[in-house]
Structure 1
Amino acid sequence: MSEEWHRSTRSGSVGNCVEVARRAGVTLIRDSKQPHGARLCVSRERWRGFLVLVGSDQWRRKRDASAR
């Protein structure tokens, strides 16, 4: 089965990107520089949770707190 891979519109033309694709109930994640390499597979719920966390400032606060 061939997936349709997408990368962020904020990605530059350098090619250092993460790409994602959807497959029945899961989200696939890969390095755009190695499209035939390893892929990470997470549930759609986990992917949505990740996006919510990154979209908030919560991850930065957690990182800064752990660096102290």
Structure 2
Amino acid sequence: MGCVFSLIKTSVIFGAGLYTGVYVAQNYKIDKVEDPKVLFERAQAYLKDKLAEASDKKDK
């Protein structure tokens, strides 16, 4: 019984997300998302900068 409830709950959440995505795509101008590789490289650079700043503050 719990498995059926979980399946229904997951389906409702997925359907709501799908509907929201379609609505937003049709009614708003959304910029394209960058290539995942580029996003990963930017995240790595950001984290390296933050770690360097934290280690500089720790050394003082």
Larger radius of gyration: 2
Structure 2 length as normaliser, TM-score? 0.31
Q: Which has the higher helix share?
A: 2
Structure number with higher strand proportion: 1
